[in-house]
Amino acid sequence: MFHQLKNLVPQGLKDVYHYILSHLAAVYYGHPSREMIVIGVTGTNGKTSTAYMIAKALEADGSKTGCTTTAIFKVADKEWLNNTKMTMLGRFQLQKLLRQMVTAGCKYAVIETSSQGIMQHRHANIAYDIGVFTNLTPEHIEAHGGFANYKQAKIQLFHHIAKLPPKNLASKSAPRAAVLNHDDEHWQDFKVARLDNILTYGEGEGAEVRAQNITESTSGTSFTVAGAQINLKILGRVNVINALAALAVAKTCGLSLAAAASQLEKITGIAGRFELIDEGQDFTVIVDYAPEPASLKQVYQTIKALGPKRIIHVLGSCGGGRDAARRPILGRMAGQNADIAIITNEDPYDDDPMSIINQVADGAKQAGKVENQDLFLIQDRGEAVLKAVKLAQSGDLVLLTGKGAEQAICVENGKKIPWDERNAARQAIRGRIAKSG
């Protein structure tokens, strides 16, 4: 009923309401963003990992940093999981967290900045200094009314930065800059005038911070930048581009490449982002967010490079009016790339869970999967994880996507069911080991 009433409110009134809330929140908490260098990370994929890597890289000079992402909150040395089911916090929550960062002595704040958050003016009273663009693929298109609107929402962050007055901290001017993924076809659309500096990163020629000589292994990913060797402990070629963004931001802030790279090399994992679950089993289990086709494609590329015997994939798709068109696409990708696909619940909201599952399964069937042979439809996500672990043989890889480190499954009437994919996988593995022992 609440959502129906909300839809009756004219968009203009909603905009005014959101902007007033944004202003009030900033005033209430004393405009904390004016007391730090603030980096906003926007794009479709990789925002969480990139934001976290930026926060870690900026500690290279001994500074304290904070970040707010889909998966993790960080205030100086304290880190904890985001249990709000929000990529970008609401206005009062976000300003409160920024004030906590200032109180803790943070010099830098990194904010994962979503297009929906920008639409609702959550960014409006935040004094950003640097905007980071990761990439752009179709997502949340239904909410934005088309891809062009989706892209423009993200570009607004960079216009916002360009309009802000220069910030002076500790007698030094903070940079007003854009850090852009040169490998993405849309990067030039984010080159906004009046910014002091625009720096590009990527693997291709023309990128100013460029990765070369990339190698992947089961222990991590290595590459060179300007002749310097960088050895990441986290898996996945996609993390090369995320690391490059972090290095580019560090460079923009005047930090040395070597010092920033050293900080990145200390990262052993990012919650729910290509996270290995190891309980001593003889098969591999990986938890990753990857809720849409472009990110899932990158995950498949990485796990295939690991050379598993078989891939057993547990996945679903989101409800609540979120990009229904991608459901059969995800299923088809699982059908084409996984040996066994298990379709389950993700976040149905007010939609019928089995309807979503069947739409994903239709894609898998189009790719040749046969139900109850190499395709299983299991509504209960816990049961789906148990099924995958039960089916796994030595040398197999179990891939769990769609939830990452999220702490709840959202169902009808706004209810949240507590859920942690990593813990569910650990319990399933331990149970199997206990039975076999």
Q: Last residue of a domain, which of 220, 245, 264?
A: 264
∠ CA 49-51-52, rounded to 5°: 65
H or E segment and range at residue 436: helix 421-436
Q: Last residue of a domain, which of 264, 288, 320?
A: 264
**3 pLDDT higher than 50:** no
Instruction: Quote the tokens at residue 300.
Output: 């498949």
Which residue range is the domain that position 229 belongs to? Answer: 2-264
User: Where does residue 266 rank: exposed (0-12), middle (13-18), buried (19+ CB within 10 A)?
Assistant: exposed
Q: Does 302 lie in the same domain as 170?
A: no
> What pLDDT, in 10s, does the model give residues 44-103?
999 999 999 999 999 999 999 999 999 999 999 999 999 998 999 999 999 999 999 999
Q: What pLDDT does 139 receive?
A: 62
> What pLDDT, in 10s, does the model give residues 92-122?
999 999 999 999 999 999 999 999 999 999 9
User: What is the C-alpha separation between 269 and 115, in angstroms, rounded?
Assistant: 26
351: domain CATH number is 3.90.190.20
């994962």: which residue's tokens? 112
User: What is the C-alpha separation between 366 and 394, in angstroms, rounded?
Assistant: 29
Q: What pLDDT does 2 receive?
A: 41
Q: Does 279 lie in the same domain as 222?
A: no
Question: How many domains does the chain contain in total?
Answer: 2
Instruction: Quote the tokens at residue 37.
Output: 């260098």
Give the range among 44-53, 88-97, 216-225, 345-354 with minimum mean pLDDT: 216-225
| Closest C-alpha among 352, 321, 349 to residue 410 | 349
**145 pLDDT higher than 70:** no
> What pLDDT, in 10s, does the model give residues 394-427?
999 999 999 999 999 999 988 999 999 999 999 9
Contacts of residue 310, Cβ cutoff 8 Å, sequence gap at least 6: 339, 340, 393, 395, 396, 397
Work out the average pLDDT over 303-313.
Answer: 94
Q: Last residue of a domain, which of 229, 264, 299?
A: 264
Instruction: Quote the tokens at residue 146.
Output: 């088309």
- What pTM was computed for the model? 0.92
Question: What does the buried/exposed string (b/e) look like for 310-325 if buried means 16 or more CB atoms within 10 Å of the residue's CB?
Answer: bbbbbbbbbbeebbbe
Q: What pLDDT does 7 receive?
A: 56
**393 pLDDT higher than 50:** yes
Contacts of residue 371, Cβ cutoff 8 Å, sequence gap at least 6: 361, 365, 377
Q: Does 164 lie in the same domain as 69?
A: yes
- pLDDT category, 1, cuts 50, 70, 90? very low
* 133 found inside a domain: yes
**270 pLDDT higher than 50:** yes
Q: Please tell me the total number of residues recorded for the chain in this structure.
A: 437
